[in-house]
Each structure stands twice: as structure tokens, then as C-alpha cells.
Structure 1
């Protein structure tokens, strides 16, 4: 291989990698801008980590409910259907996604199973060092959910769905 060809391959690889990174960023920004707001109840978890700094470990009440309903027969990856309350973003588990068309106020929500735990969106919420007190009242995780079930965590909410954080502002 000539030096010139090697440079072209390196340049093409760089363009490809940058293109993929930008596509991923665009996809996430699009979901944040247009995804449906869904608030899922949190289940208590021990939030300590010496290596990662200040964060809150997240577990979802509906993941525990799903595990109780299905036991160990849960596929390693898939989707569930949740229904939002009328006039609210608060949502509850309806069923495993079986391809049935979604009803009004229903959303598809993707999950994976890792180390025996059901993971929805993420299992941690990181915040600025020394701000743990701002998130002690967290009872809900707010997600932006796309039509394909992909979700991004956008913030934490209290029992009344008020936004938590240093100034309580909506993310």
C-alpha cells in the first residue's frame, strides 16, 4: 500500500467516524426536541459510588413490576407499553409490546436486561458534586420517548412532578 493510499484511507475513516458521531448527536437532539415526555416512578436504590463521583443510581418501579409479572421469561431486549395519565406525564406499565397499535396516551418504551436487571434508558443520573441534596426528593425519572421506544433521561421530578435541581428548572 502506498503512502498516498494510506492517507486517503485514514481521511475516509475519519470522515466516516465523524459522520456517525454527528448522526448520533442529531438523533439524540431530535428526540430531546420532539419526544413525548413520560415520567416513570423510581424504585429506591443505594446511590453510593466512590469511583464515579456524585450520582443517583436509578431503578424503575415498573421494571420491578414487569419482573414480578413475567419472572425470568423476559427476553434480553424488547419493548413494553406504558400509558400516561390524562393531563400528566406520569405513566404506568400496560403490557409487553406485542405489536398491537398504541392507544391514545400510550408509548412504546425499549428495555434491555443486563446482569438480571431490567434497564430502561439509563440506570444512573449524574449531577454536580455537592448537589445531592437537590435530588433527595426524586420520585420520578422524566424521559423523552420516541415513536420507536428509544428514551433519554432528561431530569428527575418530585412526587408532584416538579422538576428537581439547583434551581428547580425544567431541563
Structure 2
């Protein structure tokens, strides 16, 4: 009796994980490119290895007023000619996007607006290379979900792996 329950539970977990992977791959393949300016970052964690905690400028601009904004929702952003996103407003019920605007999902955690792509991990010893990052590169789906795909420098050039 236990064996079918264990294998059934395992199958459900695998289906759930597979579904999440397929959704993220769909956003990567078909999502709109968006660059978000980074605020100062922390380039190290002793427990998890080298990584950057990303803080986006639009997150700071969209700070909720204490108790007046919902715990989660969508920001309305406008992309400029360089694909850099700029905060316009927090979505209100019945909001219709104007031409050139897009949604980006957010959650408020510990008084900060979080966009879901808050960490960027890299190989140990490469912190100096990634410290040059000025933009986070995301792919954003029509519903506002997003995936972090990389970091960019001040000239908006991708920061690939450093040369050995």
C-alpha cells in the first residue's frame, strides 16, 4: 500500500517541477527583452558561494506606501529605445496598458518590492568581473512573469563569463 503512495507522490512532484521548467523555458523563448537598472548590490555570500543580491532601481521607485499597496501585483513599465525599463505606476484594477507599456509582477517582502529575480550566482573568484554590472537582463511574458537571463555593463553589453 505504501509503495503506490510514495511513487504517486514522487510523480506529482516531478510533474510540478516539469511544469515550472516548461513555463520558464516558454518565457525565455518568447518573452520580451527588458533591461532594468541595478541599484547597489552585495557581491558575496559565505554560505552559498559567490553571488550578487540584485536590487533594481524600479523596485525602489515603486516602494509601496505602508499598508496601502497590495502584497503582490504588477508594475507598469515603459521600455525606452535601448530596452531599459522605467517605472510608470503600480497596476490598479482595470488598468489598460498604453502603447509601449508592459507589466512586471512583484511581491512585497519585508517592506521591499521584489521582482522574483533577486540573485545572480557565479563562479568563485569572479566577483570583480560581475561587480561592473549596471543592468539586469530579463525576459518578460505578457502576464508579467519574468526570468533573469544575465547581467549587462554600463554600455548595455552582456557580461559573459570572464576569460580564464
Give the TM-score normalised by the residue count of structure 2: 0.90
Pick from 83, 87, 111: which aligns with 1:89? Answer: 83
Contact 1:77–1:111, Cα closer than 8 Å, also in 2 = yes
Gaps in structure 2 of 5+ consecutive residues: none
Label 1:167 to 1:47 Cα distance change in 2 as closer, same or farther (>3 A): closer
1:1-171 to structure 2, matched below 5 A, reads 5-67=1-63, 70-72=64-66, 73-86=68-81, 88-98=82-92, 99-166=94-161
The 4+ residue runs of structure 1 with deviation greater than 4 A are none
Partner secondary structure for residue 59 of structure 1? coil
Q: CA deviation at 1:167?
A: 5.3
- Count of residues in correspondence between the two structures: 161
The alignment's C-alpha RMSD in Å is 1.7
- Where does structure 1 lack aligned partners over 5 or more consecutive residues? none
> Cα deviation per residue 1:31-57 (whole Å; 9 max; x = unaligned)?
111111111111113333211211111
Whose radius of gyration is greater, 1 or 2?
Answer: 1
